[in-house]
Chain A
């Protein structure tokens, strides 16, 4: 298994909703990442988990809450989002020694 799987692929949520994005990999990678990508922009780092511990939080608003329950899973809990949070949310993973990331196909989030 050489993939990063993200679910759901598409999500539409209201500003008062609570939802979660899920990311899974079974490559034994011990670093996992959440990126946010707006249209025609590069991916922007949100969070980094290394060995299931949060190591980088790029000043992301608290309405985004990451969780890494084990080495294969990464969640992003969403609450009280704003329309400007609509974007493609990408999960990625890497081996500690491997400088390349494997990205998931992303969740296209629309906040209405």
Chain B
């Protein structure tokens, strides 16, 4: 039962360009959406989030977009930097629920 899907296992982008990571979900009960970034041998670190009442949230180089009707979430990184190279997980949570569901992750490589 894959409720959260990240269909691109990997993405390669040139430094300075935009990185777009995508996430699709099936359960409309999710109402809080997060992106985590993970380096090898480390735990995931929280990056940015958005609640279902918004369609965009921006924090510096990172912007998360939410399309509820399409059940689609995306993370834009612009400009991309080599230090952004990591695995990015989208994570979805239902209101007042301690359980988060993670996508399979997308490995982003930003080339100098």
Binding site for B on A (CB under 8 A): 4, 6, 31, 33, 40-45, 48, 50, 55-56, 90-92, 94, 99-106, 108
**Secondary structure type dominating chain A contacts:** strand
Decide yes or no: A99 and B93 within 8 Å by CB, A48-B98, A56-B99 being known contacts: yes
Determine whether B32 belongs to the interface, using a CB cutoff of 8 Å to chain A: yes
Decide yes or no: A100 and B46 within 8 Å by CB, A42-B89, A105-B41 being known contacts: yes
Determine whether B34 belongs to the interface, using a CB cutoff of 8 Å to chain A: yes
Shortest distance between the CB of B20 and any CB in chain A (Å): 20
Say which residue of B41, B46, B104, B105 sits within 8 Å of A101 (CB atoms). Answer: B46
A-side contacts of B11, CB under 8 Å = none
**Secondary structure type dominating chain B contacts:** strand
A-side contacts of B32, CB under 8 Å = 99
Best-surrounded residue of A45, A56, A101 (most CB of chain B within 10 A): A101
Determine whether B25 belongs to the interface, using a CB cutoff of 8 Å to chain A: no
Top 8 A-B pairs, shortest CB-CB distance: A103-B43, A42-B102, A100-B46, A99-B32, A105-B43, A48-B98, A103-B44, A105-B42
